[in-house]
Structure formats: structure tokens, C-alpha cells
Structure 1
Amino acid sequence: MSIRLGYQMPNFGNTSSVRELFPAVIAQVREAEAAGFDAAFVMDHFYQLPLIGAPEEPMLEAYSALSGLATATERIQLSALVTGNTYRNPALLAKTVTTLDVVSGGRAVLGIGAGWFELEHRQYGFEFGTFTERFERLDEALQIITPMLRGQRSTFDGQWYRTENAMNEPRVRDDLPILLGGGGEKKTFGMAARFADHLNIICNASELPRKLDALHQRCDEAGRDPATLDTSFLALVIVDEDGDRARKMQSDSLSRLGIDLSSLSEAERRATVADRQFVGTPEEVAEQVQTRVLDKGIDGIIVNMIANGHEPGVIDRVGQALRPMVN
């Protein structure tokens, strides 16, 4: 697996009717595929996230949507960024992502994390538990899922889950990649060192040197060469051929969160979501990605273009600007 350039869709709410919704999603993923993106991601949520929109805004179930995308694309890898472990029995999740791999002809990636959105858990009736419990459950889940993806039967008796000689057939391959997503320097990075092929680091860009130091320490503790664990960064990209228009979109979006960039010092700015944003023309965004992410030692980039990624041509322009930097 290699994910050097990925595209994540953060919302599905840019059409005038529900019937137009999934064709618009297909169009975005096909544009990403044509532009040379390695992977396309949807979120695994049931409600829209608080910093993006209201809970009732459109949100598709991840694996149903990914299976639909598999039949509409040919090359691009498909994944959730990331699957909430608490939403599915782990053996069933192994079966689900393996079925996606069969449907897509070997293009599935299991992106997984501990889960965090309490409102969804409460209203859907999923047990939320404590922070520590959710990571205990993720650890157990990975001990079940990993062998099932590798062609082995899973027998496991843990505090949270159990399996008995669980089979997972059919499979296209025995090396379906596992991607962990998050920023936790102890728990998430430790599990990535033990189980993952890829770690998508979610944090402010200025934190990346510290995050990589922590990841290398977790790899040392696990006896793993960090060079064998691919890394990427989730970047919030606001792009337009008119850089001033892109910066206006950024200013407007931050204003809705009560943030006035013009009044902040550089240190204060680095403490806000603006430190995850890459804003300007495609060329300006590419330069920012190079200096703020790739030059720090991160292998790849996953872009989230909530402002205008749904506009035809925007994904292509970003792909053309970023693809040469991550080959």
C-alpha cells in the first residue's frame, strides 16, 4: 500500500436533492482518481461533525457508500478516515472491509480509530465508555481483525470482545492494509507501531516534529523500524485560482467559529484550527504543504477541501499541484 496523496470528503451536503447526492460523491472521487490521488476517504459518522455543520446535515453510512464507489471507479484505493471501532463488532468489521476489497478488486484500506463522537453513541445506543475503555476496545479489536485480514482464523477471549475460530472468506489478498488515524502520542501511536501499515496524523501542523519524535519512540518500544510505517497528515485545504478569494473563504469560515486571524499573534494562530489549514492558489498550497509537512519528515498528505472540493475542477487542480511532490 502507498498513500502519498489522499482525498477526504468531509460532507455530502452540496446538492439540492438527496437523489443528486451520491452522483455528486461519485463525481468527486472520479475526479480525484483522474488527478492521480492514491486514495479516497469518507468519514465514518452518522451525524455531521460539530465544527463542520449541524448534526442533521447529510451523512452517509461509510461502507455502503464505499461499496458504491468501488463500482464507479477503477484504480483509486477506498477507505474510511477513520472507522469508529465502537460502531461495529470487530469480526464483522473484518468481514465488511474484506467484502469491500472483493467488490473493489483489491482496493480497500481499513482505516480505524477508537471513536470519539459522544452524541452519535448516545443517540444510536452505542456504548461510549471512557477514553481508556475505548482504546482498550480498539486494542482488542485489532487483535481480532488483523489475523482475519491475513487469512487466519481468529480465536480471542478479551474483556470487550470474543471470537471462536472466526473465518473470513473470501479474500482477494492476505495483506489488506491497516491505517490508524489520530494524534495520541502514547495510545494511538503505540497501536500504530504494533498493528498498522500507515498512520494518518491528525494534529496542528506545528506539532508535527514532536509527533514524529513520539512515533519513533513508540516504534522503538515495539521493536519496529519506523521506516516501515508510512505516515500522512490530514490537511484542511482552502484553494482557489484567486488566492485572495481562498483567503476570504478561510476568514469567513474562521469567523463563524469566533476566530479573527487578524487579531492573533503567530503563537496564538498556531493554537487554532488555522494551523491545520493550507490556503491560497494551488501553487501556494503546494509550497505550504512542502515546508510545513513534507519537509518535517511526513511521507504524504490527505486533503480535506470542505469549502469548495465539490466544485468541478478544484480537486484536479490540487492534485496537479501536489502529485509531483509526493511521488
Structure 2
Amino acid sequence: MRLALHINDYSGLEPARMAPGLARIASTAEETGFSRLSLTDHLWQVSMIGEEHEPMLEAYTTLGYLAGRTRSIELQTLVTAVTYRSPGLLAKIVTTLDVLSGGRAWLGIGAGWNAQEATGLGLPFGPQGDRFARLEETLRICLAMWADGDEPFVGEHYQLGGTLNSPQALSRPRPRILVGGSGERVTLRLAARYADAFNVYGGPDAAQKVARLREHCEAVGRDIDAVEKTALLPLAADAPGEVERLLAELRRLHELGFTTVYCAVTDVADLRPLETLGAKVIPEIAGW
């Protein structure tokens, strides 16, 4: 099993110190054994984390900066709302991140949910069914742009005159795709058909999500083991008993088939939780 670091709160970093602070966080995560670094892809802070006026950085600009300050850790969003960037541009952004990071980029994507943020900044959003349809077309477009050829794409929601993408990504055969979200009927169906990984919250219903994913994989004739199962957990590693609690949660998820857990640290500016996880948790779970 592997740990990934998820950053969804920048409030502990003053704007003038965000660049060196994030570089230090990313370097510490890499050095302590985290396999991936993910950023939330929001433009306003979300209500379950803080107040909407609290600091929030644009995710891909930040990942590009962190690519230059790290060497091996994999980089992604968890996850991009499909309507925030047009599919061709999104594929180009992830390709660029992959090339400049030496092949370390993932595409993390979902249908999106934050209507207040989207309408507040004038971004397209639309009803849920429309967003899911756009998500499937976006996945198809990204796969086309990461394949040989430059044929047009004509869908219900997107029309591309060509899918030329040069330079191509360094990842082989392409950047990996993670579909995130809790929807069992559509999200997990799309993960089964198109994704290399899916992500859900690692709570009590995680087992049910795996069962539904299995059903969707069987429906499309795909081995469920071909889809990596990942989960998100909040933690405060320096709190009393937190390491033991986290190890118990990781064991539970491991037994369900999850192989990577994204840890959302409560105070990302404090490096002690990362160092604690690196010293006490990552070595323990490495052989699972």
C-alpha cells in the first residue's frame, strides 16, 4: 500500500510565502516516501474545509511549479471538474505537466459539484446529467489526444476539428487517468470503462463502492484488478493516537483492495505530520 499527500487548504501559508512553503511541503512528502501529491481543483475554498474567501490556488499552475521543485513524486488533481476546462485544452495541460515533470502527471477528473463556485466565476456547469455526459466525452477526447493520429472528434457536447497533440506525453502508454466521485451508477461505470484508478472517500461505504465497481467492470468485460482502488482520508498525524487510528483505517482499506490512500493533512504548513507519517506509517504499510 502507498500513501499520497492531498492538499486542499492553503490557509496556513501567507501569500508571500506560498511558493517556498509549498516547495518545502512537496519536497518533504517526496523525501519521506509519499508516492503522489494531489491538489484540490477548486477556485474558492469549499464549505466542508473552510470559508469560501480563504486562499485557493489554481491547481495546474501550482502543479507545474511543484514539478520543478521535485524529482519523483507523481502529480495530479483530486479531481478536476470536467466543465472547468475544455477537453482539448485539459489534455494539453496534463500533457505539458507530464512532459515538464519527466512523466509524472496523472489526469484526475470528475463531474464536479460546486455550482456556487462555477457560477460565481462564470464557468460552465450545467445539470448533473449534462456534466456526466461531458465527462465521458472528455475522457474519450483525452484518450484520442494521447493516441496516434489527429482525427476529428464529433460528440454531442464537444466537436474538435482535430486531436493533434505535440509533443506527446512522456508517460507510457499515456498519462494515467483517475476518475473520482461517489456516484455508483455513472461515476463508477465511467471508471470501469476508461480509468486506470478510481477514488472515493474512505469511509464505511468504501466496500460498497468496490462491489459496484466490480459489477461495472464485469459489464464491460474488464478485470477489476486493472482499476486501481484509491481512497481519501483526512488526518492529523501528530494528534494523540492518530497513527494507530490511521494504521487501522489503512488495514481496513487494504483488506477491501485499496492500494493507495490520499491523506489530507489538516495543517499543510506544519511538516511534522508528514515526517511522522514517513517515519511511522509508510514503512509499516510498504509490505502490504
Q: TM-score range by the shorter chain?
A: over 0.9
Secondary structure, counterpart of 1:78 in structure 2: strand
1:215 to 213, 216, 220: 213
Partner of 1:75: 72
CA distance in 1, matches of 2:223, 2:147: 21
Q: Which secondary structure does the structure 1 equivalent of 2:75 belong to? A: strand
**Correspondence for 2:195:** 196
Cα distance between partner residues in 2 of 1:62 and 1:217: 33
What TM-score comes out, normalization by structure 1 length?
0.83
Q: Residues 68-111 of structure 1: CA distance to partner in whole angstroms, max 9, x if unpaired?
A: 00000000000011111110010110000000001101110111
Kindly report which structure 2 residues correspond to 1:148-297, keeping only aligned pairs within 5 A, or say none: 148-171=145-168, 172-173=170-171, 174-202=173-201, 205-240=203-238, 242-243=239-240, 280-291=241-252, 293-297=253-257
Match of 1:258 in 2: none
Tell me, what secondary structure is at the counterpart of 1:139?
helix
Query: Which one is further off, 180-189 or 281-290?
Result: 281-290
* Map of 2:120 onto structure 1: 123
1:301 partner amino acid: V
| Letter of the structure 2 residue corresponding to residue 85 of structure 1 | V
Instruction: Choose 1 or 2 for highest CA Rg.
Output: 1
Runs of 4+ displaced beyond 6 Å: none
Tell me, which stretches of 5 or more residues in structure 1 are unaligned?
244-279
Distance 2:249 2:214 in 1: 24
- Counterpart amino acid of 1:305? V
SS across alignment from 2:41: coil
* Shift of residue 288, structure 1, vs aligned partner: 2.8
What is the aligned counterpart of 1:325 among 276, 285, 288? 285
- Residue 156 of structure 2 aligns with an amino acid whose one-letter code is Q
Moved more, 150-159 or 189-198: 150-159
List runs of 5+ in structure 2 lacking aligned partners.
none
1:114 paired residue number = 111
For 2:278, the aligned partner's letter is G
Q: Write out per-residue CA displacement over residues 265-305 of structure 1, whole angstroms, 9 at most, x where no aligned residue.
A: xxxxxxxxxxxxxxx332332123213x2122222211101
- Using the alignment, how far apart are the partners of 2:279 and 2:177 within structure 1? 27
Q: How far did 1:51 drift?
A: 1.0
Q: In 2 relative to 1, CA 152–21 (structure 1 residues): closer, same or farther, beyond 3 Å?
A: same
Larger relative helix fraction: 1
- Cα distance change of structure 1 residues 188 and 34 upon mapping to structure 2, 3 Å threshold: same
Contact 2:237 2:274 in 1 (8 A): no
Alignment identity in percent? Answer: 34
- Offset, 1:321: 3.0
TM-score under structure 2 normalisation?
A: 0.94
Cα contact 1:7–1:304 (8 A) shared by 2: yes
- Asked whether 1:140 is paired with 2:137, we answer yes
Contact 2:106 2:176 in 1 (8 A): yes
For 2:262 and 2:148, locate their aligned partners in 1 and report how far apart those are by CA, in whole Å.
29
CA distance in 2, matches of 1:287, 1:42: 25
Q: Secondary structure at the match of 1:232?
A: strand
Deviations 1:41-83 (A, max 9, x none): 1111110011111111111111100000000000000001111
- Taking only aligned residues, the RMSD between alpha carbons, in angstroms, comes to 1.6
Tell me how far 1:116 sits from its aligned partner. 0.9
Deviation at 1:311, TM superposition (A): 0.8
One-letter amino acid of the counterpart of residue 96, structure 1: I
Aligned residues: 284
Q: Helix, strand or coil for the counterpart of 1:205? A: coil
Could you tell me how far apart the structure 1 residues matched to 2:91 and 2:228 are?
22
* Shift, 1:165, TM fit: 2.1
